[in-house]
Structure 1
């Protein structure tokens, strides 16, 4: 759902970040929005959001990023917000195979509850951790190619590819919006 803003921003995109507990969803958001990383922070309970305005393809885009809890008891809260999002980031931990396997469930949930035009990125966090890596980049890329999702590995701790991941996601959302507007004009 795109909202027009004042002259300060050209548009607002809502993005939801989902994934198992303790994969680093909040840390990725903290790195992107504040360029900070702290080892100490409580687990997200319920839903929270942060914003950041960036330049994407010549436009000032405000990203409103919804941070979700990975706990099952908050899933119903997550579902309610899926319908309003333009993009979804599904995060797994490259050192936890189970979180990667569960990313398929998260993807099903997003595709079931979000609009059909939502742009999805599957993101492997903690790529700075070489050992004990349990999910190879190639394995993750095969999955994302198969399901038609964007893919990026990041490290919130080391600030690797976090900014780039959001730039790619937001550019995908912008392109999708422009093509929909062109179709509507025809």
Structure 2
């Protein structure tokens, strides 16, 4: 049995505007629970999840950042040293989608342009109040050369897939990791320049 000495530690950051569902996504992924109460994260929160992938342990240190403007400088400080980020918007809130580009620029400035990232359109269970089409989210992600998922923390839609895609992208960069053969990677030549990336 592995004694943990070969444990790879990955720093994952959840970013996006206030009330897009970052905390709910994290709770669903870590505890498989959903809390209907809407309490904004104050500053930063932190949880850990350990995975066993291809014969080695991978510890995810997942940081849930505050989306309010007054915490912006604090939140972006935590981007440094990140291996991957989930950039989240709310499909019922057009401004949160428009602000994804700004979050991308913050990531570039504080974590680097080559850090792995995935865009999530959250609250896809609220189809009747949708204002951002899935196609717009897919187009933005394609232009930025990143994975995209529409998710629902409430109904547990694509949460596991989103984290798995992010971790997969990070692990594919590791020389000690054997990539899966069933993962399709976009060629850089197929992407448009976007988000300074």
TM-score by length of 1: 0.88
Q: Residue 189 of structure 2 corresponds to which residue in structure 1?
A: none
Deviation for aligned residue 1:178:
2.7
For structure 2, the residue ranges without an aligned partner over 5 or more in a row are 178-197
- 1:117 matched to 2:114: yes
* Residue-by-residue CA offset, 1:80-110 (whole Å, 9 max, x unaligned): 2111100011100011111111111111111
Q: Which runs of 4+ in 1 moved over 4 A?
A: none
Alpha-carbon distance, 1:77 to partner: 1.1
**Please, which runs of 5 or more residues in structure 1 have no aligned partner?**
181-186
**Kept after mapping to 2: 8 A contact 1:57/1:171:** no
Deviation at 1:8, TM superposition (A): 6.9
| Per-residue deviation, residues 45-81 of structure 1 (Å, max 9, x unmatched) | 1011111112334432111110010011111112221
Per-residue deviation, 1:36: 0.4
Residue 104 of structure 1 corresponds to which residue in structure 2? Answer: 101
1:171 to 1:73, Cα distance in 2 relative to 1, 3 A: same
Kindly report the root-mean-square deviation, in angstroms, between the aligned alpha carbons of the 2 structures.
1.9
Structure 1 residues 66 and 151: alpha-carbon distance in aligned structure 2, compared to 1, 3 A threshold: same
1:49 aligns with 2:40: no
* Structure with a larger share of its residues in helix: 1
| 2:4 equivalent to 1:7 | yes
Distance 1:38 1:175, change over 3 A: same
Q: Distance in 1 between matches of 2:126 and 2:53?
A: 30
Task: Evaluate the alpha carbon distance shift between residue 90 and residue 75 of structure 1 in structure 2; reply closer, same or farther with a 3 A threshold.
Answer: same
TM-score by length of 2: 0.83
